[in-house]
A and B are shown apart, each in its own frame.
Chain A
Amino acid sequence: MLHQIEGSKAMARTIALCRPQVVCAYPITPQTHIVEGVGELIRVGELDDCEFINVESEFAALSVAIGASAAGARAYTATASQGLLFMAEAVYNAAGLGLPIVMTLGNRAIGAPINIWNDHSDAMALRESGWIQLFAESNQEAADLHIVAFRLAEELSVPTMVCVDGFILTHAVERIDVPDQAAVDAFLPPYEPMQSLDPADPISIGAMVGPDAFTEVRYLQYFKQHTALTLIEKLAAEFEQRFGRQAGGLLRTYEAEGAETLIVAMGSINGTIKDVIDEMRADGIAIGLVTLVAFRPFPADALREALARARDVVVIDRAIDVGMGGPLASNIAIALRELPDPPAMHSAIVGLGGRPTSKASLHRLFRQAAIQPWEGPHFLDLNERVVARELHRRGKTRRVGPAAEGILKELEKERVEKLAERTS
């Protein structure tokens, strides 16, 4: 049924339709509305047989979910940014134990400097934790991906993270189709755990494993993620057949046919990129898009196939690995290097800490890639003047103070100077 509804509320309703049995809540912007929404549905009795637990930290949130999942209940929680890092130890633990917990990540930057707005730093920070990571492009997909995520997680017994851009998706009100209970029930059977704590059949979970078996345990995790590549495609097809719309899959292409330049991006920025591609195509430029949904497992084969015939590939990273560059670009580079005649890859760091990405900036970026390619990561819309002034100031004295303060002061100076120019 169609609703004019906030993304978080739509996700909450959809999550409730997945019949989670234990939901752990700890507030952190921008995911809070999701667990609030689930909590309301439990209070009013729309979601029965569900324990809603207000915990004292994100570390506890995921730990409670770990206990619940190991005891045979379908467990769900949500977090973002600092919260994900605070629970990092438990994130790895859930994966190592093979517990099919589903967690929404309201993607947000990581401090310092503290910043509540959207980028993908949080998801990227834990990309090696062993969770499946799926990125939603729209709020419809954000809601739908949860149904897929529970099914995927439980079939493989691997925890799954649904990555949803903070504010841009979580707080946007738009038209979203929330499916009915019968349809979700038909797609998602009740949770049948692969292992559970049961006095009738006592087992030890979480034993100490030494060098004799650790490699094999990790290999099984690797193998399961590899299996997920096939299962994600299968579930996407089944979802489309049952619900009549696309959600999930490894990746999707847009105007990729005959494209000389292909953009690769994850999350909500794909919408803006599609608009830019439409305009550039109208100008006769052969450009297209590959929207990556599954970041973990990383669909290297599918990406190679999608990108093989392009001349240039522009990778949009919503995060920065400061000692390396764009994490998505690093991964794509690995996928491309096996092609006999790989396209030229251009890495762009875009929209950090919630900086809006304009179509104009993307137009410039995409055109520049073909005409005047750059080396290393390109920071889109970087205020080079302010950076240069701050670097100059830093070169003069040792006791420069915090970087954030310095940049903010330079920005203020720039603003005052511009004002003076205008009034003189």
Chain B
Amino acid sequence: MNEVQKLKFYQKGTLTVGNRLIDERERNVQASLDRSNSLTSGHRACQGCGEALGARYAIDAAMRASERNLIAVNATGCLEVFTTPYPETSWQIPWMHSLFGNAAAVATGVAAAMRVLGRAETRVVAQGGDGGTTDIGFGCLSGMFERNDDVLYICYDNEGYMNTGVQRSSATPPAARTATTPAMGKEPGNVFGTGKFTPKIAVAHEIPYVATASVADLHDLEAKVTKAMGLRGARYIQINVPCPLGWGAASQDTIKLARLAIETGLYPIFEAENGYITHVRKIRRPTPVAEYLKLQRRFAHLFRDGFEDPRVAKLQAMADRHIKDYGLLEEAA
């Protein structure tokens, strides 16, 4: 396997523009020499980890936006475990982990301390996985939102409790196989009609800024973090981060899966300000959900023996509903 990978150059205007082909001012934070490397190399994330990638881009963007004046609070979870096995740490910023369910509240405390100590220019980011955010940390998250505390909360949504061995969370999609929703019995996988989409709940709090993002569009991710950092008050960004281990996917498919999640309509990418949706990322190439599902072993039971389970159609209906509700398709000319 000594074959040298052939470089692929894309032309401007295609879907994936190489940084070197665009104007320096438009290049992303990661491409700059003075990126902060907040989450530096040597951590213990799995190969192809979407969360590590998302966190690196998000926090470096927040660092640039705050002029390197940032404190991060982390919920218990993969990100915490793979970055800080004592006595090592991958964080080159002031970073704190307290508990699984209190990252939003701890961040509120840090922000309050900064105000009272006359250091309000020091900005605060809280981060956690979907379990720490939409389940066990939901009370603290909602409290932070309704008080409009000056915290940017970033949720790395990999759709399950991956750190504890892939169990179902309230962000796990229907039909997905997890350790607590096994692909067995009459209704294999996660149950339809359950779960919640926390960004919508965040919008309902009418906080200054809510956005969804994806590791398939890192320019967009950086832009959203930068925009959020330009505002004060409670802000929420939820990033779709595929998990090769938990999803049963090839590690080189992380970006592909994240892109398919967008292009199928399963993961709507939008921005909302003060309770209103202000921007929606349109689907460029509409794709049937089966194409996304087939790449993941957590959905393998839907495609056994060349037979497509009727629940694939139900998932397609979900995607179609997102496309309609959020207006994800370009209007026909």
Q: Which residues of A contact B (CB under 8 A)?
A: 21-22, 24, 49-51, 53-57, 59-60, 63-73, 75, 89-90, 93, 97, 197-199, 201-210, 212-213
Indicate if the CB atoms of B84 and A208 lie closer than 8 Å: yes
Q: Are B94 and A202 touching (Cβ within 8 A)?
A: yes
- The answer to whether B105 and A70 have CB atoms under 8 Å apart is no
Q: Of the listed stretches B115-123, B190-198, B296-304, B311-319, name the one at the interface; the rest are far from the partner chain.
A: B115-123
> CA A93 – CA B75 in complex, angstroms?
13
Instruction: Provide the B84-106 mask, 1 if CB < 8 A to any CB of A, else 0.
Output: 11110101111111110110011
Chain B residue contacts of A89, Cβ below 8 A? 99, 101
Contact yes or no, B140 A67, CB < 8 A: no
User: For the complex, is B143 an interface residue (Cβ under 8 Å from A)?
Assistant: yes
Measured CA separation A208–B76 after assembly (Å):
10
User: Contact between B96 and A51 (Cβ–Cβ < 8 Å)?
Assistant: no
Residue B182 at the A interface, CB < 8 A? Answer: no
Q: A56-B140, A73-B116 are in contact. Are A66 and B94 (CB under 8 A)?
A: no
Is the beta-carbon distance between A202 and B95 smaller than 8 angstroms? yes
Whether B139 is near chain A, meaning CB under 8 Å from some CB there, is yes
Q: Is the CB of B96 within 8 A of A56?
A: no
User: Which of A60, A68, A204, A207 touches B113 (beta carbons < 8 Å)?
Assistant: A68
Q: Is the CB of A70 within 8 A of B112?
A: no
Q: How many residues of B contact A (CB 8 A)?
A: 44
**Residue from A50, A53, A199 with most neighbouring chain B CB atoms (10 Å):** A199
Q: Is B166 an interface residue (CB 8 A)?
A: no
Q: Does B68 contact A (CB under 8 A)?
A: yes
Inter-chain CA distance A55–B102, complex, in Å, is 12
CB distance A67 to B70 under 8 Å? no
Which of A55, A64, A73 is within 8 Å of B117, CB to CB? A73
Are B86 and A210 in contact, CB atoms less than 8 angstroms apart?
A: yes
Residues on the A chain within 8 Å of B116, using CB: 21-22, 49-51, 73
In the bound complex, do residue A199 and residue B94 qualify as a contact, i.e. CB atoms below 8 Å apart? Answer: yes
What is the CA–CA distance of A275 and B102 in the complex, to the nearest angstrom?
47
Q: Assess A207 versus B85: contact at CB under 8 Å? Given A57-B143, A68-B110.
A: yes
Q: Is residue B165 within 8 Å, beta carbon to beta carbon, of the partner chain?
A: no
Closest Cβ–Cβ distance, residue B201 to chain A (whole Å): 14
Is there an interface contact between A59 and B139, defined as CB atoms closer than 8 Å?
yes
B108 to chain A, nearest CB (A): 5
Task: List 11 A-B pairs, Cβ < 8 Å.
Answer: A24-B109, A56-B142, A60-B140, A67-B98, A69-B113, A70-B96, A71-B114, A199-B69, A202-B92, A204-B91, A206-B84
Query: Per a CB cutoff under 8 Å, which of B81, B92, B112, B146 touches A68?
Result: B112
Distance between Cα atoms of A291 and B263 in the complex (Å): 71
- Answer whether A63 and B99 are a contact pair too, CB < 8 Å, given A71-B71, A209-B86: yes
Residues of B within 8 Å of A21, CB to CB, are 113, 116-117
Q: Is the C-beta of B159 less than 8 angstroms from some C-beta in chain A?
A: no
Chain B residues near A51 (CB-CB < 8 A): 112-113, 115-116
Complex formed: what's the CA distance from A72 to B91 in Å?
20
Contacts of B68 in A (CB 8 A): 199
- CB <8 Å contact, B69 and A60: no
Chain B CB within 10 A, most for which of A53, A75, A197: A197
